[in-house]
Structure 1
Amino acid sequence: MPNCTSNCVQALILRPEREQRLLLCRCSRSANPPYCDGSHSPPASGLADKWRRFFSGR
């Protein structure tokens, strides 16, 4: 149960297998709404550059 105390026998234990980040589009230029695909930003060559443009103040 989500509202159980820490010693509750019915408590849910969530162990995510991987972390995933989703970016939602607010400029309406994305080809995959509601998710941001970076269409508002200049082209980026590598995966690191693509993620960097989302967090560098654009």
Structure 2
Amino acid sequence: MINVTKDQIYQGNLLLINKKYPVHQEGVVSDMINLFQHKELVKGYRLKEITIRLSRGLADQATI
């Protein structure tokens, strides 16, 4: 079991978000895109959901 402290929950690029820890508005970036609509960003991968959204900046970094 991994213990996550409250100060760690909303830090970094990978956040714990669920019913107990909802997304905070300050954590939402303005460059969110739907990955299903940008096939060039998911080369070699399949998406299980067509509603997956990710920051364009993070998606661009992952394709380098």
The TM-score with structure 1 as length reference comes to: 0.19
Report 1 or 2 for greater relative contact order, CA contacts < 8 Å, sequence distance ≥ 6. 2
The structure with the greater share of residues assigned to strand is 2
The TM-score with structure 2 as length reference comes to: 0.19
